[in-house]
Structure 1
Amino acid sequence: MLSRVADTTYWMSRYLERVENYARFMDVNFNLSLELHPDVSEQWKPLVQTTGDWELYESLHGEVDKKKVIYFLGFDSNNANSIFSCIRNARENARAIRPEITKDVWEKVNGLYYKVKDGIEKKVWEKKDPRKFFIEVKESCQLLAGIYDSTISRTEGWHFGKLGQLIERADKTSRVLDVKYHMLLPDVKSVGTPTDLVQWSALLKSVSAYDMYRKKYGKLNPSSICEFLIFDKNFPRAIMNCVEHAHESLQVVSDKDDEQLNKADKQMGIFKAHLEYTDVAEVLNQGLHEFLDDTQIKLNNISTAIYETFFSSENILSQQSHAQ
């Protein structure tokens, strides 16, 4: 498979996964803001911090304001990670690999792009309740993911797409959990209070995990929530589940006989083993923030290794010289 096509497929899927995550975060956070006291900074600043774009937001918009946050995360073209920027990039990537995807996938990506553009024209961020828009974006992404899985052959292209989706998903789960644990509570006295439980509930909903968590554990408990979102092998947004399936796809596209081409596979395998031989008690003793920060570093390193292994021009030239 051409490295250019693999790279484009990988990033198309990452961008689409990011769009869905942002749309879900916005919907859940808006609901949360209605249930708790109206401290705008406390409710909306953590949402920007979840995405890792707080410094950019502060430089562009200054003080925390609900409408400004919704605009920044949803529609701001100056934010490379906004829903609009991501769906625009996903659409351009989809256009570049149009022969590799189905008509159904292309039409859904294209339709989602125009839905978001319509949201800009209608200034959704100015509305009193913009949840309907973000729910529609989230559901469009979920429908698109289903169409992609049900209409694309399980070739290398599909596996590169899954790699992008799953690495992005694991990263966002780790970020949401990290922000809740360290930033949302005003002080340790709030632990176990109704406010604390509402926030943990919102966290689970922000990664669509509330129902499956309650089915497995029943009561809301911070330790159990951490265990579920990090180590559960059956829940599709748990970090462990994402890493396991990403490793499976990486093994399919890796050349086991080439040391360089096996670099990304090795890093993913080491990270998977690290998760398998760690439990939630060790994580909490070590420090949840430290563990999640290390997880994000490892995911970034794996993504870099994937680029160097499959997509970089140096590697393409190396492959060509070996083939001659």
Structure 2
Amino acid sequence: MLSRVAESLYWIGRYLDRGENTARLINSTTQVLLDLPAKASFGWHILIKVAGLDAEFVKRYPQADEDTIIRFLVDDEDNPSSIISSIHNARENARTVREVLPMELWERINSLYLYIRDNGPRALVGRGPREEVLRGVIGRRESITGLFTGSMSRDAAYQFIKLGRNIERADMTTRIVDVNSALQVSGDSAIAALTTQRAWVATLNALSALQMYRNHVGVHVRRRYAAEFLLKDTLFPRSVNFCFSEIQACLAALPDNPAAIRALRQAEDHLTGMRLEGLTSPVLHDFLDDLQGDIATIHAAVAGQYFNQHQPKNGQSAGQ
């Protein structure tokens, strides 16, 4: 397979997952903010920070309020990581490799782009319309995943899309979890504990993980076990550990890439060695930062081996 084709397929997987998970990140943060008591230290600026987009944001926006941040993340075509830009970039990459994709897969990617192009401005009207639009993005993206899984041969094209999806998903799961590491509640300890629990319920909900958590861990959501489930669970498809196992399977099906395998093993070792008992929020944040660095190293090894070190489409990097 030509490196440019492999690269486009890889970025289809990454961009589609980035658009969907940005929608999930916004929904999670919205729910956390709705449940906060007056003494909580948390705000919309946290969303930009954990997404790794604070430098990009301050270039164009004078203040970090809800309206400007939602515009930046949903409908700003000059932000390369906004939902509209991510879906547009996935569509453009899919257009260039249509000959290796099922026709219906291309049509659904194109339909998703048209949906967010036409409905993105509604997300700026208020929280109700915003949730509806973002759920529309998530649902349409999930239908693409179902079609991809059910209609593509398990050849190199399939593996590169799946590889991109799981590298992006692992990174975005760490960022969604990281929202909670920024939450601080002063005053009554009972209120603080309840607020923390609600924040983790919102995070599990945002990742469609709440029911699976309750099935496999327990009815009551506790900080340590929720974080452990989203980072280390071996069965839940959005956990970082599960994504790592999927990356391993993709690399095993593609031509040998020792650098990527070494980078993946290092990331797995860091994840396995993490102890969540009594973990403070600052330490969790630092660990997630390190894990994001590990994921960026995996991406760099993949790009160096399979894409002749070409720059990804539209200049994106793994950490963006």
What TM-score do the two structures reach when normalised by structure 2? 0.88
- Bigger share in helix: 1
1:121-151 CA distance string (max 9 Å, x none): x443124522111111110001111111111
Q: Offset at 1:197?
A: 1.6
Unaligned 5+ runs, structure 2: 311-320
Contact (CA 8 Å) 2:260, 2:302: kept in 1 or not? yes
Distance 1:162 1:189, change over 3 A: farther
Alignment of 1:309 onto 2:308:
no
In structure 2, the partner of 1:125 is 124
The separation in 2 between residues aligned to 1:41 and 1:23, in whole angstroms, is 23
Contact (CA 8 Å) 1:217, 1:224: kept in 2 or not? no
Alignment of 1:270 onto 2:269:
no
The separation in 1 between residues aligned to 2:251 and 2:290, in whole angstroms, is 21
The separation in 1 between residues aligned to 2:123 and 2:155, in whole angstroms, is 39
Unaligned 5+ runs, structure 1: 256-260, 315-324
The separation in 2 between residues aligned to 1:58 and 1:281, in whole angstroms, is 36
Task: Look up the SS of the partner of 1:62 in the other structure.
Answer: coil
Distance 1:103 1:231, change over 3 A: same
Counterpart residue identity of residue 167, structure 2:
I
The separation in 1 between residues aligned to 2:259 and 2:84, in whole angstroms, is 34
The separation in 2 between residues aligned to 1:31 and 1:273, in whole angstroms, is 33
In structure 2, the partner of 1:89 is 89
In structure 1, the partner of 2:244 is 243
Task: Look up the SS of the partner of 1:193 in the other structure.
Answer: helix
In structure 2, the partner of 1:177 is 177
Alignment of 1:145-184 (within 5 A): 145-181=145-181, 183-184=182-183
Task: Look up the SS of the partner of 2:76 in the other structure.
Answer: coil
Counterpart residue identity of residue 236, structure 2:
F
Contact (CA 8 Å) 1:254, 1:262: kept in 2 or not? no
Distance 1:239 1:134, change over 3 A: same
In structure 1, the partner of 2:313 is none
Q: Offset at 1:190?
A: 5.4
Contact (CA 8 Å) 2:266, 2:294: kept in 1 or not? no
Alignment of 1:46-57 (within 5 A): 46-57=46-57
Q: Which of 273, 277, 285 lines up with 1:289 in the alignment? A: 285
Contact (CA 8 Å) 2:90, 2:109: kept in 1 or not? yes
Alignment of 1:111 onto 2:111:
yes
Task: Look up the SS of the partner of 1:64 in the other structure.
Answer: coil
Contact (CA 8 Å) 2:35, 2:199: kept in 1 or not? no
Which protein has the larger Cα radius of gyration, Structure 1 or Structure 2? 1
Q: Offset at 1:285?
A: 11
In structure 1, the partner of 2:212 is 212
Q: Offset at 1:48?
A: 1.7
CA RMSD of aligned residues (A): 2.5
Moved more, 168-177 or 282-291: 282-291
Contact (CA 8 Å) 2:41, 2:183: kept in 1 or not? no
What TM-score do the two structures reach when normalised by structure 1? 0.87
% identical equivalent positions: 32
The count of aligned residue pairs is 307
Contact (CA 8 Å) 1:166, 1:242: kept in 2 or not? yes
Contact (CA 8 Å) 2:196, 2:223: kept in 1 or not? no
Task: Look up the SS of the partner of 1:153 in the other structure.
Answer: coil
Alignment of 1:234 onto 2:235:
yes
Contact (CA 8 Å) 1:40, 1:66: kept in 2 or not? no
Task: Look up the SS of the partner of 1:91 in the other structure.
Answer: helix
Contact (CA 8 Å) 2:76, 2:84: kept in 1 or not? yes
